[in-house]
């Protein structure tokens, strides 16, 4: 199985840039910067920003940040898959996960949206046969707090330090998946880490 499209989920606009919900954008931005992707370009018809990566050890990859708001992320993904003729099996979606601690990351190949509106919209528009890289943002500190308020809030200074320190690991998760395929990558990404050892690609 080969992967050709990496989609980071988030909301457009500077006011959302550092919110928990935009961690998908941040990870894909970091991946693009590390591997020298072309500058991001707005594809208005496809409702997303696209950066092409070619000539790398990963082959040609299409990096995507939807410019719809989170709840309509699937519009962009569906349009770009159609435009580039990419099946769901060759798509990776990177997004925030409240059921993982800050600094954690997990790879899965199936499952429900789990309350994530961006993922739910993608699942409503295309078959669920795509890879999901879930980046932990931690759970709500107060059960009564509306979920929208939490995910649209910014990380605390302590959590932001953890996110910054973990960014290499988040990027490495994409690298492992693209280079090794889901089975081998899952063994490395999802295992319990005893320390900060790394299996960089």
Give the active site residue among 21, 35, 79, 116: 21
Rounded distance, CA 147 to CA 170, Å?
A: 23
> What is the secondary structure of 102-163 as a DSSP string?
TT-EEEES----TT-HHHHHHHHHS-S-SEEEEEE----SSTTS-HHHHHTSBPPHHHHHHH
CB atoms near residue 82 (< 10 Å): 11
Task: Tell me which residue of 201, 190, 171, 186 sits closest to 94, measured CA to CA.
Answer: 171
Burial status of residue 144 (CB atoms within 10 A of its CB: 0-12, 13-18, 19 or more): exposed
Among this protein's residues, is 21 annotated catalytic?
Answer: yes
Helix (H, G, I), strand (E, B) or coil at 13: coil
Structure-token pair, residue 45: 């018809």
Rounded distance, CA 94 to CA 187, Å?
A: 18
Residues taking part in catalysis: 21
């Amino acid at each position: 199985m080969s992967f050709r499209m990496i989609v980071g989920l988030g909301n457009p606009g500077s006011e959302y840039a550092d919110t928990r919900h935009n961690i998908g954008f941040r990870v894909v931005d970091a991946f693009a910067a590390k591997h020298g992707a072309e500058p991001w370009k707005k594809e208005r018809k496809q409702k997303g920003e696209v950066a092409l990566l070619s000539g790398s050890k990963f082959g040609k990859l299409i990096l995507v940040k939807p410019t719809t708001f989170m709840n309509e992320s699937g519009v962009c993904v569906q349009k770009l898959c159609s435009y580039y003729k990419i099946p769901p099996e060759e798509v990776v979606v990177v997004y925030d996960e409240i059921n993982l601690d800050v600094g954690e990351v997990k790879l899965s190949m199936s499952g429900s949206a789990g309350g994530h509106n961006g993922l739910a919209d993608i699942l409503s528009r295309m078959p669920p046969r795509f890879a999901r890289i879930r980046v932990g943002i931690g759970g709500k500190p107060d059960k009564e707090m509306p979920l929208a308020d939490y995910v649209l809030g910014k990380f605390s200074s302590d959590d932001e330090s953890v996110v910054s320190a973990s960014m290499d690991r988040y990027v490495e998760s994409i690298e492992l998946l693209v280079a090794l395929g889901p089975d081998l990558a899952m063994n490395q990404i999802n295992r319990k880490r005893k320390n900060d050892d790394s299996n960089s690609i």
